[in-house]
Structure 1
Amino acid sequence: MAGNDKRRGGVRKTSKKGMVVGSGGQRRRGLRGKGPTPKAENRVSHPAKQKADARAKAEHQRNKRQQAAENTPELVAGRNPVVECVRAGVPATGLYVAQGIDIDDRVDEAVREAKLRGIPVLDVPRTELDRMTSNAVHQGVALQVPPFEYAHPEEVLRTAVDTGLPPLIVVLDGVTDPRNLGAVIRSAAAFGAHGVIVPQRRSAGITAVAWRTSAGTAAQLPVAKAVNLTRTLKDFKKEGLMVVGLDADADITSDQLDLATGPLVVVVGSEGRGLSRLVRETCDQTVSIPMATGVESLNASVASGVVLSEVARRRRLR
């Protein structure tokens, strides 16, 4: 009979609909904004993030290699560089002379001066000297120098002030070639500068190549490292020094540099990109070197030599 729930197989549904699990506010929260989209280099899986991480890793490795190089003794190779370093009183821990080489006046002088200064003189096989100098052109002699001890920028300024002369300080901005660094140090010493300052990062340091190019003058002139180059320049300006930067698009040419006779900082940028933006904005004046048509630029060491020569000339005539 219809509606008979007693028949065999019939099931009566006696339960009523109970409480239903709700969304718990998920739908409402889902309608909210998630904020600004992160930059590409901050997204974990984005290619820009991977490239940024790779650059950071490469920079870290580069800094580690630079620190390791700065804490490792260097070898100055070649007869003329070795003699010049010994004459200049470069701190050295050993003079290596290859066995069986032809002895000339330079080798005699290097050995004699080394013994007078208490530097050990060691005879080594030529093959061993080849290995030690990574097959450089050593001409049978090499001088081992300890890691360079950098000064502080304040020490350079204090040394300059103590001379009683108008301070003259050379600052390098982004010069990464140690040959250029050594040549700039040599020019700075030749034209009466009181010190050279390099940035702590992205800059060449005093290596064997720089020692060789400087012809030992790095032992006579204080070289300092600045943690923040722009801040260091601003500190010098507070002490009364004028900051002049070498730049192709400059305010004046070097033969118009009237600031040369006063307390002066000469800033030299890299040959490729020149002065960095912040350093250029910190300069009181920019100076270019008059050149013949068709010549684009000079490298850092030559440019600094030209300007420092003009500064020295003006100071002599003062």
Structure 2
Amino acid sequence: MSDYKPRAPGNRGPVERKTRAGWQAANNGRKDNDKSNPVAPANKESALDKELWAAESSLSGEEEYLAGKHPVLEAMKAGRSINKIFMSNQAQRSLVQPIMEEAKARGIVVQQVDKSKLDRLVPDLQHQGVVAQAAAVAYVEVDELLARAAAKGEVPLIVLLDEIEDPHNLGSVLRIADCTGVHGVIIPKRRSAGLTAVVAKTSAGAVEYVPVARVANLVQTMEKLKAAGLWIAGADGGAKEGFYDTSLTGPLAIVIGNEGQGLSRLVRERCDFILSLPMVGQINSLNASVAAGVILYEVVRQRQQELKKSGASQSSPV
């Protein structure tokens, strides 16, 4: 665990870090949806859902997907990184029970879908009602992101994505993260795009350089980062303090919200402060990856200025 301690925020006015006791009192009786059953029911197809399925169906089944009961089960037992398992809603429960149990033990989401969707995913393979989507690269642990910053002797900079479902957005964020020196990206296991081939392609190769951690509970991960000394900044509308007047030079984790809904309520409540970009046009929101780019480059600007000041101070005569 990193030894970084929280730094005093600059120009944040009355914003203060909430206490754990205060959170527990304010959220008594609430339950995080991430603790629900790992089998996600099939929902009605939206336009975005159809677009994502079309994009995924165009990928190579041999490299991106595993099909069949035994291949999927053995892949999990071997410890292979799996994003999600798609299971036909017509599959006999007795035949797929071992897969469901293994997926639950490993925290892998199982989504029930129509058989026709599985046929589109792996048109050339006998899927037996089960298809697993494998990660393009391996995920890492959150501690490894903090260790990466410590190894470089740099102040930690982490990006958390709150239910970013568009793989193109995730790929773009990874590309921006690489360009701005982010030490790692954290995504939730549920309701989030994973490291697919679409993400790898959109990231322009950044997926090979920016480590990604995949967690079961984003809120608990935020608490872990706070314990390691990081401040949590959420990107959302309605911030009281000006974006460019907020100090972003300390140990920092930035949370980017969902493409349509922004930050979820629990995540927003756990943020130490909120960053809001100035909007002067008729459209009052930005694409998630664009917002991430604006914020991260402001972090880069402030940190470079801080380094210049520190260098000038050290070179000045006593």
Please state how far the C-alpha of 1:185 moved relative to its aligned partner: 0.6
C-alpha contact 2:161 2:186 (8 A) present in aligned 1: yes
Measure the CA separation in 2 of the matches of 1:186 and 1:310.
16
Measure the CA separation in 2 of the matches of 1:282 and 1:249.
16
The correspondence of residues 89-238 of structure 1 with structure 2, limited to 5 A, is 147-238=136-227
Please state how far the C-alpha of 1:168 moved relative to its aligned partner: 0.1
Runs of 4+ in 1 over 4 A off after TM superposition: 131-134
C-alpha contact 1:72 1:147 (8 A) present in aligned 2: no
TM-superposition CA deviations, 1:134-162 (whole Å, max 9, x none)? 9xxxxxxxxxx974211111211221222
| 1:289 to 2:277 alignment | yes
Quick one: structure 1 residues 168 and 72, their matched pair in 2 at CA, closer, same or farther if it must change by over 3 Å?
farther
Runs of at least 5 residues in structure 2 that lack an aligned partner in the other structure: 1-36, 44-48, 54-58, 66-119, 124-133, 307-318
TM-superposition CA deviations, 1:46-91 (whole Å, max 9, x none)? xxxxxxx9x95327xx9xx9xxx9x96239xxxxxxxxxxxxxxxx
Q: Which residue of 2 aligns with 1:14?
A: none
Letter in 2 for 1:289: L
Q: Which residue of 1 aligns with 2:41?
A: 57
Measure the CA separation in 2 of the matches of 1:56 and 1:317.
47
TM-superposition CA deviations, 1:6-42 (whole Å, max 9, x none)? xxxxxxxxxxxxxxxxxxxxxxxxxxxxxxxxxxxxx
Quick one: structure 1 residues 154 and 146, their matched pair in 2 at CA, closer, same or farther if it must change by over 3 Å?
closer
Measure the CA separation in 2 of the matches of 1:147 and 1:159.
21
| 1:304 to 2:292 alignment | yes
Letter in 2 for 1:312: V
Quick one: structure 1 residues 190 and 133, their matched pair in 2 at CA, closer, same or farther if it must change by over 3 Å?
farther
Q: TM-score, normalised by structure 2?
A: 0.55
Letter in 1 for 2:173: V
C-alpha contact 1:179 1:210 (8 A) present in aligned 2: yes
Measure the CA separation in 1 of the matches of 2:281 and 2:135.
45
Measure the CA separation in 2 of the matches of 1:132 and 1:300.
27
TM-superposition CA deviations, 1:211-269 (whole Å, max 9, x none)? 111000110110110111000000100111000000011232321221x1110000000
Measure the CA separation in 2 of the matches of 1:146 and 1:252.
39
C-alpha contact 1:178 1:204 (8 A) present in aligned 2: yes
| 1:74 to 2:64 alignment | yes
Q: TM-score, normalised by structure 1?
A: 0.55
Measure the CA separation in 2 of the matches of 1:164 and 1:294.
43
Quick one: structure 1 residues 311 and 201, their matched pair in 2 at CA, closer, same or farther if it must change by over 3 Å?
same
C-alpha contact 1:244 1:284 (8 A) present in aligned 2: yes
**Match for residue 248 of structure 1 among 224, 237, 248:** 237
Measure the CA separation in 1 of the matches of 2:62 and 2:244.
43
Measure the CA separation in 2 of the matches of 1:267 and 1:72.
34
More RCO (CA 8 Å, sep 6+): 2
Please state how far the C-alpha of 1:132 moved relative to its aligned partner: 11
| % identical aligned pairs | 46
Measure the CA separation in 2 of the matches of 1:194 and 1:228.
20
Please state how far the C-alpha of 1:133 moved relative to its aligned partner: 11
**Match for residue 261 of structure 2 among 273, 289, 311:** 273
SS in structure 1 of the partner of residue 253 of structure 2: strand
Letter in 2 for 1:233: M
Q: Which residue of 1 aligns with 2:96?
A: none
SS in structure 2 of the partner of residue 309 of structure 1: helix
Runs of at least 5 residues in structure 1 that lack an aligned partner in the other structure: 1-52, 76-130, 135-144
C-alpha contact 2:135 2:195 (8 A) present in aligned 1: no
The correspondence of residues 254-269 of structure 1 with structure 2, limited to 5 A, is 254-258=243-247, 260-269=248-257
Count of residues in Structure 1 that have an aligned counterpart in Structure 2: 191
Q: Which residue of 2 aligns with 1:12?
A: none
C-alpha contact 2:135 2:196 (8 A) present in aligned 1: no
Instruction: Please report the RMSD computed on the Cα atoms of aligned residues, expressed in angstroms.
Output: 2.9
SS in structure 2 of the partner of residue 289 of structure 1: coil
Quick one: structure 1 residues 281 and 165, their matched pair in 2 at CA, closer, same or farther if it must change by over 3 Å?
same
SS in structure 2 of the partner of residue 73 of structure 1: helix
Measure the CA separation in 1 of the matches of 2:227 and 2:182.
20
